[in-house]
Chains A and B, each alone.
Chain A
Amino acid sequence: MSITIETPRSPRSRKSAKLEKYGWLYMRASGALLLVLIFGHLIANLFVGEGIRAIDFGFVGGKWATPFWRIWDGIMLWLALIHGTNGMRTLVNDYAERPWVRKSLVVTLWAVCGVLILLGTLVITTFDPCPANSLPELLPSFCTNK
């Protein structure tokens, strides 16, 4: 006696099954890295010194004066947005029942993700800690006492 299990007993295609597997692995690999990156980010910005009270343009200028935090923040930006977006895609797949709703939500998620990664990357790479015509007291101290 044999039982035939109806579709979907197998993935729609080998390619999409592979992609799902990489997505699953990505959630775990990026999660482990994000733990370090985000805890470091929170300690540096919210815990040490005066915490949230110290954050202003000068604070960001000071952090982004050297490549260290720029690279840190850049990696965190990419990993977190892709992790969060792929996680939200899982929720959409779970809760959106109509195919066209599901499809549009997933496309919207990745579009938003792409725009924010592009914006954030441009901000980090083109940041100017001493913009011309700004009040000196708003800038990091190294802008004035060269």
Chain B
Amino acid sequence: MPSKPAGTLYRGKVGMWSWVLHRITGVAIFFFLLVHVLDTALVRVSPEAYNSVIATYKTPIIGLGELGLVASILFHALNGVRVILIDFWPKGAKFQNVMFWVVIAVAVILFAGFAPRHLMHVFGGAK
């Protein structure tokens, strides 16, 4: 006789943690988007105003923040595809666990392609 729940699609496993991550990254991207629409709107004020605010995006600390933003977007976007497949592909729920690890693997590969380049742009060195 089982003494505790054996776990479900969502509880305490990949299903739950992918949902937690999807939620946190979604909120982070949302707040960045609010700021990003406002900073881009400065092109309508003057070239000087836009350039001075965009200069802060090139500083080391914000530059590192951009790495976090790109990582969040990679996970949220790829896991979004996983959610869509779970909902619409008849075998989606069966493969949700494998798909989570595929999401992580693809996100890590894309991030590894992006991060060194971005760090070089932020910290000088290569063109």
Q: Is B57 an interface residue (CB 8 A)?
A: yes
Assuming the A-B contacts A116-B34, A138-B47, A138-B51, are A35 and B121 also in contact, with contact meaning beta carbons closer than 8 angstroms in the complex?
A: no
Contacts of A35 in B (CB 8 A): 77, 80-81
Q: Are B84 and A56 in contact (CB under 8 A)?
A: no
**B26 is contacted by which of A51, A87, A127 (Cβ under 8 Å)?**
A87
A68 to B114, CA, bound (A): 25
Cβ < 8 Å to A, chain B residues 19-67: 23, 26-27, 29-30, 33-34, 37-38, 40-41, 43-44, 46-48, 50-51, 54, 57-58, 63, 66
Contacts of A31 in B (CB 8 A): 77, 80-81, 83-84
Q: Is A72 an interface residue (CB 8 A)?
A: no
**A39 is contacted by which of B77, B84, B121 (Cβ under 8 Å)?**
B77
B75 to chain A, nearest CB (A): 12
Contacts of B88 in A (CB 8 A): 28
**A47 is contacted by which of B46, B63, B84, B114 (Cβ under 8 Å)?**
B114
Q: Is A53 an interface residue (CB 8 A)?
A: yes
Chain A interface extent, by class: 35 or more
Q: Is A17 an interface residue (CB 8 A)?
A: no
Interface of B is mostly: helix
Q: Is A7 an interface residue (CB 8 A)?
A: no
Q: Are A52 and B117 in contact (CB under 8 A)?
A: no
A22 to B126, CA, bound (A): 48
A50 to B15, CA, bound (A): 39
Assuming the A-B contacts A52-B58, A55-B57, A120-B40, are A38 and B47 also in contact, with contact meaning beta carbons closer than 8 angstroms in the complex?
A: no
Q: Is B94 an interface residue (CB 8 A)?
A: no
List of 6 A-B pairs having minimum Cβ-Cβ separation, nearest first: A57-B47, A51-B121, A138-B47, A84-B30, A31-B80, A53-B121
Interface, chain A (partner B; CB < 8 A): 28, 31-32, 34-35, 38-39, 42, 46-47, 50-53, 55-58, 60-61, 77, 80-81, 84-85, 87-88, 91, 112, 116, 119-120, 122-123, 126-127, 131, 134-135, 138-139
Interface, chain B (partner A; CB < 8 A): 23, 26-27, 29-30, 33-34, 37-38, 40-41, 43-44, 46-48, 50-51, 54, 57-58, 63, 66, 70, 73, 77, 80-81, 83-84, 87-88, 114, 117-118, 121-122, 127
Additional A-B contacts beyond A120-B40, A127-B44 (15; CB < 8 A)? A31-B80, A32-B84, A39-B77, A46-B70, A46-B114, A47-B114, A52-B63, A56-B50, A56-B54, A57-B47, A57-B50, A60-B50, A85-B30, A127-B43, A139-B47
